[in-house]
Amino acid sequence: MVDFTVLKKLTTVVRKINPKTRIIETRFCKVTNIVEEILEFPLNAGLFHRTSVNTIHSREKSILLKSSNMSLKGLLNFLTEFSPIALRIKGEMKTSQGWYRIDCVGNQVNFERLNKASSNSCLVIISRREKSIIKELKSIWKRYNRQELSLV
């Protein structure tokens, strides 16, 4: 809940970011005439009839890395060096010390030990659009791990 002054400041900020957005004010979480408000929103506001920029060529490339029984230290070293290059890394891997759930974004590498085995030891790696990363991925993997890896 905010007072009128804060609401006006927030509305101004939102309008600077997206001047065509529809802002519906509420009181105590109740909106009067919500159906009419939504239905009267002009369809020609430029929000609905645009060509999508989401194409097979503009999407980030995802790579599936499969391997198992590498050392936990080798996997952690690989992820610490490689994670900043990728957009996101996520999956479950079987190491010589057990199963781990992995989630990486930027420099942040998160590990969580799993109590039971997963069905697949693999990581999904989402690369940044502007960069091909497979050669670099293989090089960094070899530096820290002796286990073979499969890329799909």
Q: Where are the domains of the chain?
A: 4-39, 62-151
Reported for 106-115, long-range contacts at CB under 8 A and 24+ positions apart, including other chains, are 107/83, 108/83, 109/76, 109/79, 109/80, 109/83, 111/76
Specify the pTM: 0.61
Q: What is the pLDDT of residue 121?
A: 93
Q: What is the pLDDT of residue 77?
A: 95
Q: What is the pLDDT of residue 90?
A: 95
DSSP 107-152: TEEEEEE-SS--S--EEEEE--TT---HHHHHHHHHHH--S--EE-
Across the 152 residues of the chain, what is the mean pLDDT of every consecutive 10-residue run? 80 88 72 62 52 64 90 95 92 94 92 90 85 87 92 87
Q: What is the pLDDT of residue 89?
A: 95
Q: What is the pLDDT of residue 59?
A: 63
Q: What is the pLDDT of residue 30?
A: 67
Q: What is the pLDDT of residue 55?
A: 65
